[in-house]
Amino acid sequence: MAGTPSSKAHKTPDVPAEVDLKPVMGLVAILIPLLLYTFSFYKIQVQPVSAPKIGAAGPGNNQGDNKKKPLQLTVVVTKPGFAIKMDPEVAGSVNLPSSISIPKKVFKDPRTGKRILEYDYPALYQKLYEIKKHFKEEQTVHITGAPNIRWQIIARVIDTARFILKKDHFKDLNDFATAKVDTETEGKKIIPRFLFPQVVFVVME
């Protein structure tokens, strides 16, 4: 008499479950246009450029000449702090200094309560916002830094220079870091308001 077949002999072999990639592909389809949109505002360019020299504004031929001449707005990042430089003649046409120094400032760390020496990003934003009021059509800011400046600092300077915030006075560094970007309506879309959207990296001579 034949024995009863073992249950192991009829065991269905394990079949790997199919991985549903549709959610992942959908996420990628969303992220790629978003990244392209974000980086379309950056103009990454390495070029030898002499930043505007410090000095008094020279006499211009007329106001029309100043409008045609580029502002050459430049933010220089160094270990002691920031320096904003502009063409002396163009800046002088609206009674602005051609060079503005923004040294580091002591802030209170909201996490530890300790006092730390940090770059004064709120002051940098306020100065750039003031410049924008005088040159509403200006779109470009040049950014450069010393070789030992960390990229995180440069990235934060870019964010500071690109967007207009909903307020222009800040009680501390944390208040600035949590400030909301102002928006405006373009057709049916709500878009951020830009301060200087075109960022150019330059090498100082």
Question: Which tens digit of pLDDT belongs to each residue from 33-48?
Answer: 655 555 444 444 444 4
Mean pLDDT taken over the chain:
79
Q: What is the mean pLDDT of residues 188-204?
A: 88
Instruction: Report the pLDDT value the prediction gives residue 205, as an integer from 0 to 100.
Output: 58
Q: What is the mean pLDDT of residues 67-75?
A: 86
Instruction: Report the pLDDT value the prediction gives residue 58, as an integer from 0 to 100.
Output: 46
The pLDDT tens digits for 11-65 are 555 555 666 666 767 666 666 665 555 544 444 444 444 444 434 444 444 444 4
Instruction: Report the pLDDT value the prediction gives residue 10, as an integer from 0 to 100.
Output: 53
The pLDDT tens digits for 123-138 are 999 999 999 999 999 9
Q: How confident is the model at residue 161 (pLDDT cuts 50, 70, 90)?
A: very high
Instruction: Please state the domain extents for the chain.
Output: 46-204
Q: What is the mean pLDDT of residues 3-8?
A: 54
Cβ 164 vs Cβ 177: under 8 Å: no
DSSP for the chain reads -PPPPPTTTTPPPP-PPPP--HHHHHHHHHHHHHHHHHHTTEE----EEPPPPSSPPPPPS-HHHHHHS----EEEE-SSEEEEE--HHHHHTTT--SEEEEE-EEEE-TTT--EEEE--HHHHHHHHHHHHHH-TT--EEEEEE-TTS-HHHHHHHHHHHHB-BS-S--SSHHHHHTPPBPEEEETTEEEEPBSS-EEEE-EE-
The pLDDT tens digits for 168-194 are 889 888 899 999 999 999 888 999 999
- Tell me if the pTM is above 0.75: no
Instruction: Report the pLDDT value the prediction gives residue 33, as an integer from 0 to 100.
Output: 61
